[in-house]
Chains A and B, each alone.
Chain A
Amino acid sequence: MNSNMEAKKYMNPYLAGFILGLALIASFYFSGRGVGASGAVKSTVTTVVNTIAPEHAQDSHFYGKYIKGGKNPMNAWLVFEILGVIFGGLISGALSGRLKFTIEHSPKITAKTRIILAISGGFFVGIGASLGRGCASGAAMSGMAVLSTAGFISFMAIFGGAFLFAYFFRKLWI
């Protein structure tokens, strides 16, 4: 830890995991559902397409189900939850002195490479989370919290996939 922006150390991961677990229990106890993240992006994309090309959106098998009967896709549980995630992260970063505009990357790659890889990685995550009905939080973590078979399959596929491809991208990280 050589940089001065690391004002405070990170929390013990087991304690942070326990807090996250309590948030998950609260989510199921109140709303009967778990947390997620990629769904909020899906709502945003659907809203943008529906605003620019409403007829195209109505015809689509993908967008159609989110806007049927004049439903507003932004009025979704996950959208409010993600606004909370951003706010919660901001509070944590402020308390620990980690608020700073920066591009974080390994010294062995340039900031430009980092941004290109971040966008490309996001692109694959966007496809994968849509196809797999959720990401690491929505499908895997929330699924496993209620012991759904889908949660365990998603968990193994996501982590297995990342380990499978890790060798090919090692120069980006180590």
Chain B
Amino acid sequence: MGPLITQGIISPEWNPMIAFIIGIGFGFALEQAGFSSSRKMIGIFYGYDMIVVRMFLTAVLTSAIGLLFFNYLGWVDYDLLYVNPTFIWSAIIGGLFVGLGIIMSGFCPGTSFSALSIGKIDAMAFVGGIALGVFFYAETFELLFEKLFKAGNLGNIRIYDTLGISPGLFMFLFIIFGIGLFWFTIFIKKKFSARNLKY
């Protein structure tokens, strides 16, 4: 029963190898879908390309449904999976900073690594920029960010507990939402395809 390494069924020494193999799947899927192109990825924000919603949401729904089923079937202990803690203010403000950076650069960290792997020089510049941002954050952490970083800790909570509904009902609503959004992307793309951008 999973998670295999967390439970000691496989030795933690395997972690780097497994991380590497999963990374290959991640990087391969990103590049194949076209996330290695900043102009393709940014299309979602101007209505001319929908891969971000289509791929991102498909990946989220696939994994969320899959892990819920793994739990029901007893293949994985849902409580041992890492749930990132909810710090409400740092998540919102940090997320807005990331959003600003994405619209300026056309990359998020994951896609930039897939882009630099095929030789995009702008992606290498972006990764350098991230390093500068992390360095700035680290050096001013105590002065500017520490209070905000630690404020509003709600713990390692899950969305269905926050909303007070069952996991199954939440998943059902999430799937309906996803299908609605997929349908919406067809509508939006038709509306904006007249621009006929070349990229």
Contact = CB atoms under 8 A, between A and B. Distances in A.
B95 A28 contact: no
B138 A49 contact: yes
- Chain A interface extent, by class: 35 or more
A126 B121 contact: no
Contacts of A119: 125-126, 128-129, 132
Interface of A, helix, strand, loop or mixed by DSSP: helix
Contacts of A115: 121-122, 125
Interface string A92-108: 11001011111111100
A147 B170 contact: yes
B108 A128 contact: no
A31 B185 CA distance: 34
B20 interface: yes
A38 B107 CA distance: 12
A84 B17 CA distance: 9
A28 B54 contact: no
B118 A151 contact: no
B193 interface: no
B61 interface: yes
Given A28-B3, A80-B20, A172-B104, A124 B91 contact: no
B46 interface: yes
Interface in B3-54: 3-6, 10, 14-34, 36-40, 42, 45-46, 48, 50-51, 54
A77 B16 contact: yes
The 8 A-B residue pairs with the shortest CB-CB distance, nearest first, are A126-B133, A122-B129, A84-B23, A161-B99, A132-B94, A157-B95, A21-B62, A121-B105
Interface of A: 1-2, 10-11, 13-14, 16-38, 41-42, 44-46, 49, 60-63, 75, 77-78, 80-93, 96, 98-106, 114-115, 117-166, 169-170, 172-174
Interface of B: 2-6, 10, 14-34, 36-40, 42, 45-46, 48, 50-51, 54-64, 66-68, 70, 75-76, 78, 80-88, 90-110, 112-123, 125-138, 141-142, 145-146, 148-149, 154, 156-162, 167, 170-171, 195, 197-199
